[in-house]
Amino acid sequence: MSTPMLTISDPVLVEFAEQVDAEDPIAVEGGRTRWEVGGAADEGVRLVRAPEGIVDYVPDEMTVTVRCGTTVADLHAALAEKGQRTALHERGGTVGGALAVGENGMHVLGRGRVREAALQVRYVSDDGALITGGGPTVKNVTGFDLPRLMVGSLGTLGLLAEVILRTNPIPAVTRWVVSDDVDPFAILDTVLRPGAVLWNGERTWVELEGHAPAVEAEASRLAAIGTWEDAEAGPPLLPHRWSLPPAALRDVSRFGGERFVASIGVGTVLSDVEPPGPIMDPGVRALSDRVKEQFDPRGRLNPGRTPGAR
Amino acid sequence: MAGFLSSVKRRLNLEPGGNTGSGDPVVDELRSALAPARVRYDGAERSLLSHDASIFDGGVAGPVCFPTTAEEVQAIMKLALEHERNVVPRGAGTGLAGGAIPLGAPIVVAVTKMNRIIEVDTDNRIAWVEPGVINLDLTRHLQPLGFHFAPDPSSQQVCTIGGNVANNSGGPHCLAYGVTNAHVVALEVVLPSGELVMLGGLDAEPAGYDLRGAFVGSEGTLGITTRVAVRITPNPPAVKTLLLSFSSIRGAANTVSQVIAAGIVPAALEVMDQRITEAVENYVHAGYPTDAGAVLLAEVDGLAESIEIDAERIAEIGRANDALDVRVAKDDAERAALWKGRKTAFGAVAQIAPDYYLHDTVVPRSRLADVLEEIYAIADRYELLVMNVFHAGDGNLHPLLVFDAREPGVVERVHKAGEEILRASLDAGGVLSGEHGIGVEKQKFMDEFFTADDLAHQNRLRQAFDPGCRTNPGKVIPSGHSCADIQALRSVPREVWL
């Protein structure tokens, strides 16, 4: 039989797999920007870093193959030269970190969700093997969706080595506007596809994106429901993340904090206080434990971390 | 074939009814758990549900259940567990890869009676639906509210949301909006253990592993969906549909890859070659040109101010690729006629020959023209007629081999040509399936794509959900990786494929 199409030959990935090895407890380190999410890695475990570098960028295909130790900033700088970007959250960390944590940026309405960005994942398994899930094309239902499982798994099922990401065009025009008198919950009935709608309880920021005439038209539609001025950017962000259904943002008592920035239409709230720990349904918790047991029966991958714990 | 199947059934001790005389004990228990009328064991029902829309013919249905609640699905799963029977979930049976074919006389769980749209929550921009709701019925229900369900497979008039979830279904408009996975927010699922769990959730970032994401597209092997929260998408205020015609399919394919390269993400980019365009035009009289080598149906939607710019740019790129004609649909009626033509293309083929085998692969968009040329050459070599109608914008090819199965030897040629088409797609850096799934159809190619270790990892996910391999056994993952005792059922000789 011929060699399977997804067979890995890149010596850089093979070397990473050898470094991960198959025996001792191990944790992977990116930019440490979200190091505490899901619990810090156990003290004293061996730390590795994923390899770096953009392997193959095909702007015409709107895909990029990138090693997971590359910083999101470096990736986005390379993509911007061809007028493209990804859904990955840019806050100083690595591609692998952004995917393993899986949190969306505050521009999720415009840039898409992180869990939909990974078309193909390559990771080192608990027993030191290089595994590929997904595939290189923008549309694919060949086999189970391991990329979805890996995004947000905090490296507890495998250590991400290289991914193929979907890229998106950077719109011709991006414009932030801010208002003190608008009903933030009316924005999505007015603007068809905003990049972001952020509300801090007093002011509402809207990121308009698209062709110049479309952005103009959206701005004038917004003028009918509030008073606006241009802004350089959105509001300053806050450290603690709350996750709510979008409609729950109407009731500010549902989330805490003196200060907050709520992502309207999404449900993420950044606040100055920590949210309560998530409550997971016991059935889902048990199923998640079985997934972990299958992928890492000895618990050697990122011990101490559990997605959904805090 | 009959001899083969009965020998397999004897070997696996799966003869329906078995040695229990007139009544399979599980049938009686299923009837008391549901209602006698909703557990069918007659030959007609079982025969009907032994097939789906694929050309695969090796299925044997056991008792057929029509549950109406999640509790009933749980009861079925628990009885199946107790009696060590397998279970196969089923929607409308429109799948083309044999994913709903019951292997080994399992209990068939048809969710078609769970067809309520439970709630439309415009504030959260979701709708809670049962799995038997028909795709287009949901969109029609949402229409007056200004929303729709974005995935729109060609079978949308009959296929179910549950089936869409199982197959991670696509459709022409998934180019801009994404396939089903992007539109499923939460899933209530009965696990093979009989437990009921909610995967995902309405909140922005549900905690824990994305088991919702892993479940979508698992082809009914991880459990049975009983309730789904789907995203509802606002209807675009403006839509523009362009019909570009070209002297050759290369012009159409190159236009597609250059449109994508220009940073335009149209709502849809569909190509039809001359043969299929002629068949479609004869069938629906939509105004397609029958003298062009290929046509490109391009649709942009969104703000009027925005789509003007994108439509003009697409027309320019088309002209630069020697488009013979660029036409903009002047009204909704013309637009609807063009889409009706595209979506009934497979029905139109019946005029040409009684049988067809529809393939589904994806290649990088820049390789579309080369791979299409190769597909025509392959068909020529096997003296077969091939027609191409496909989701060009995401590189998703649907070569349609058209034939008359009564012609001696033609079936073998169809299969050999199909295999070569699949390999040509892989050689171009493509994948085995873009939206129809693996089912039983493409298992034997899985190890030409994935390594043994890759497949073992897919099996790890399967084992976490279904350690006994009792839910839709014998699908997706090839033999040697899971559910070994059912594997025998899959080595069905080629002769039974039609």
Q: What is the pLDDT of residue B317?
A: 98
Q: How far apart are CA B116 and CA B101, in angstroms?
A: 25
User: Is pLDDT at B17 greater than 60 in this prediction?
Assistant: no
**Cβ within 8 Å of B, A 172-191:** none
* CB < 8 Å to A133, chain B: 454, 457-458
Tell me the chain B residues in contact with residue A240 when contact means C-beta distances shorter than 8 Å: none
Q: Does A239 touch chain B (CB under 8 A)?
A: no
Instruction: Say if residue B206's pLDDT is above 60.
Output: yes
Report percent pLDDT > 70 for chain B.
92
Average pLDDT over residues B462-467: 96
First CA to last CA distance, chain A: 47
Sheet holding B87-90, edge to edge: B39-40, B64-65, B107-110, B87-90
- By the 10 Å C-beta count (0-12 exposed, 13-18 middle, 19+ buried), B10 is classed as exposed
Other Cβ atoms within 10 Å of B274 Cβ, number: 22
When mean pLDDT is compared across A199-208, B106-115, B488-497, the lowest value belongs to: B488-497
Residue B115 class from Cβ within 10 Å (0-12 exposed, 13-18 middle, 19+ buried)? Answer: middle
pLDDT of A278 > 90? The answer is no
Q: DSSP state, B484?
A: H
A233 touches chain B (CB under 8 A): no
Closest Cα in chain A, distance from residue B343 (Å)? 19
DSSP A46-109: EEE-----EEEEEGGGTEEEEETTSBHHHHHHHHHTTTEE-S---SS-BHHHHHHH-PPPTTHH
- pLDDT of B361 reads 97
Question: Is A144 in Cβ contact with B214 (below 8 Å)?
Answer: yes
Number of Cβ within a 10 Å radius of residue A4: 19
**pLDDT attached to residue B255:** 96
Cα-Cα end-to-end distance for chain B? 11
What percentage of chain A has pLDDT greater than the value 90?
91
What order do you get walking across the sheet with B385-390 strand by strand? B323-328, B238-246, B294-302, B268-273, B385-390, B399-403, B355-358
Tens-digit pLDDT profile for residues B122-173:
999 999 999 999 999 999 999 999 999 999 998 999 999 999 999 999 999 9
Q: Is B320 on the interface with A (CB under 8 A)?
A: no
B233-273 pLDDT per residue, tens: 999 999 999 999 999 999 999 999 999 999 999 999 999 99
Average confidence score pLDDT of chain B = 90
Indicate if the pLDDT at residue A271 is higher than 50.
yes
CB nearest to B362's CB, from A140, A210, A243: A140
- Report how far residue B327's alpha carbon sits from residue A120's, in angstroms, rounded to the nearest whole number: 38
> Could you report the per-residue pLDDT of B301-312, keeping only the tens digit for each?
999 999 999 999
Mutate which of B457, B458, B459 to test chain A, going by most A C-beta atoms within 10 A? B457
Taking only residues 23 to 52 of chain A, the set having a beta carbon closer than 8 angstroms to any beta carbon of chain B reads: none
Helical H runs in B83-205?
135-142, 161-167, 174-177
Q: Do B167 and A141 touch (CB under 8 A)?
A: yes
Contact of A168 with chain B, judged by CB distance below 8 Å, is answered with yes
To the nearest whole Å, the CA of B496 is away from the closest chain A CA by 24
* Contact assessment for residue A118 and residue A134, using Cβ atoms and an 8 Å cutoff: yes
Q: Is B239 helix (H, G, I), strand (E, B) or coil?
A: strand
Give dist(CA A117, CA A134) in Å, integer: 12
- State how far the Cα of A185 lies from the Cα of B111, in Å rounded to an integer: 37
Conformation bin of residue B72: beta by default, left when phi > 0, alpha when psi is -120 to 50: alpha
**A205: its two tokens:** 């920021």
User: Is the model's pLDDT at A241 over the cut of 70?
Assistant: yes
* Chain A CB contacts of B462 below 8 Å: 144
Give B174's contacts (C-beta < 8 A, 6+ positions apart). Answer: A139, B150, B151, B152, B391, B394, B435
Lowest mean per-residue pLDDT among A79-83, A266-270, B272-276, B482-486: B482-486
CA B230 to chain A, closest CA, distance in angstroms equals: 14
Model pLDDT, residue A133:
98
**Which of A137, A166, A268 to mutate to probe the B interface, most B CBs <10 Å?**
A137
CB of B489 within 8 Å of a chain A CB? The answer is no
What is the per-residue pLDDT for B10? 41
Give the tokens for residue B131: 């799995």
Residue A253 CB contacts under 8 Å (≥ 6 apart), including other chains: none
Contacts across the A-B interface (CB distance below 8 Å): 267
> Chain A within 8 Å of B458 (Cβ-Cβ)?
yes
Q: How far is A3 from chain B (nearest CA, A)?
A: 7
pLDDT bin (cut points 50, 70, 90) of residue A23 is: very high
Distances (CA, A) of B472 to A149, B42, B49, B85, B257: 21, 21, 14, 11, 38
pLDDT bin (cut points 50, 70, 90) of residue B57 is: confident
Among the listed residues B332, B336, B342, the one whose alpha carbon sits nearest the alpha carbon of residue B271: B342
pLDDT of residue B482: 56
Residues A194-227 have pLDDT tens digits of 999 999 999 999 999 999 999 999 999 999 999 9
Contacts of A151 in chain B (CB under 8 A): 210, 213
| Surface of A (56-75) touching B: CB under 8 A | 58-62
Question: What are the pLDDT digits (tens) for A80-101?
Answer: 999 999 999 988 899 999 999 9
Does residue B20 surpass a pLDDT of 50?
no
pLDDT > 50? residue B489:
no
Q: pLDDT value at position B487?
A: 40
Instruction: Write down the residue that tokens 């007629």 correspond to.
Output: B385
Give the separation between CA A16 and CA B48, rounded to whole angstroms.
52
Q: Which parts of B13-84 fold into alpha helices (H)?
A: 25-33, 43-48, 70-82
- Which residues from chain A sit within 8 angstroms of residue B208, using beta carbons? 152, 278, 280, 284-285, 288, 307-308
pLDDT at residue B495 in the model: 30
**Whole-number Å distance between alpha carbons of B242 and B298:** 5
Measured between beta carbons, which residues in chain B are less than 8 angstroms from residue A168?
A: 265
- Band (pLDDT 50/70/90 cuts) for residue A310 is low
